[in-house]
Structure 1
Amino acid sequence: MITLRPSDLAREHGISTQAVRNYERDGFIPPAERTPSGYRIYTEAHAAALRAFLALVPAFGHAAGGRIMNAVNAGDLDDALLVIDRGHHQVLRDRETLAAVRNAVSHLLAEPVPAPDRPAAPAPRTIGELAHRLGVTPATLRNWEGAGILAPARDPATGYRVFQAGDVRDAELAHLLRRGGYPLDHIAAVVRQVRTAGGTEPLAEALEDWRRRLTARGLAMLDASALLSHYLDVLDRARGRRDPE
């Protein structure tokens, strides 16, 4: 059996030996045996555990990665897989949300630009006109306003709601997302981002960055799965449940 020192594990990942000891203390790698003089003795199982944990962090986050390793080291594989399944489910939800928002933004960006010699059609200014344009009821628009999705001004003379071009854009975006089944609080967050970005073009750039980050996380999940699977194989051999290949 090959034995390793804390410095060997630390050097591989560019971390401190204290970090390795902390990971052992927190149960992310198995407890080390000790020499008669008290020095830790690490093995390939510890090295594989550390590789798996450090790969799990960018894939699932530090806390979830720790829970996965705690469960694996305690022999609770189903608990570990449950945390992994939840992480994959969240990424899937993020991808679905991203796709819906990108489709909505693409739709808004594809709105035809009027010719220079023809004035743009006036945007709906009343709640009834906007409701008719979207095919919803005025009560729906009032509900969206209550959820923070819409923030129309009021006519100072009549007190009626006045929907400007930006309000129409927000309503159309909300309508598309609502048809996709997204809850009002999520839609409100997206609309706020559109407003903060100053329009759909900056939001489209932000969504592309979100896509890149989701891709990176998905690839990190693949790497983490391979290293965790290898660690499980090492544990199986160490515990005598599987013959070495």
Structure 2
Amino acid sequence: MLDDFMIRAALAGIGVALAAGPLGCFVVWRRMAYFGDATAHASLLGVALALASDLPVLLGVLGAALATALVLSARWGGTYAADTLLGVVAHASLALGLVAVSFLHGVRIDLMGYLFGDILAVTRADLAVIWAGALAVAALLVLRWRGLMTATLSPDLAFAEGRDPERERLVLTVALALLVAVAIKVVGALLITAMLIVPAAAARGFARTPEGMAALAALIGAGAVIAGVAASFRLDTPAGPSIVVAAVAVFLAAALAGPRLAERRAENGRVV
């Protein structure tokens, strides 16, 4: 079965989606979209460094994404607002990555694949790495779920329970860097944040509990992968962007249905 490139593509995308959905919920709750964007953009610099030093691309991407995420996690004071600094780091890291790639003479690199993903070229080895990384992210979120939720809702409450909010933030940082490292093959550096944000945002209007939102986000992401890969095969469109477009279509449908759902809940006396 794994000899079929379409099956491998779908399995790779589903693996990423199952981890990106729950992790994306925390990105939405904590309003960390720019943070995820900056971490994803840094992955291209990691690709260039890995190729220049003959290291596995996965290690280079993971190292660059983790280093950027850790730097951004530090509390920066001074003149500039956090969103300004995040925007500067995101675009600077992407630009540095593109410039660094241009200096790699004699090295063949599919730049468009790293920018927008090349899910149809996923191999069996890639599939194993993607699922291993995705399962590691999912396991990390499950094990730290209560602490992550408490720190997200109220850092003061987390302190009262004997939890360190900064440690929980570090857990999210590591999970985000790991997801970026395994997802770059699927949707590319420019679209990773979309796979984090869009399914979670689409699930928000329908879920009644945080756990329900995380599960629904994973399902929406997996469904978007299947729809996007199928559309790519039938319409000859880029697979990575097609997956994101499918997820956005679900989000738009959820946005349109949201007010009606809220009205029904209010009529039934339920808390939205």
Q: TM-score, normalised by structure 2?
A: 0.24
- Max radius of gyration: which structure? 1
Return the structure number with greater relative CO, CA threshold 8 A, min gap 6: 2
Q: Which has the higher helix share?
A: 2
Q: TM-score, normalised by structure 1?
A: 0.26
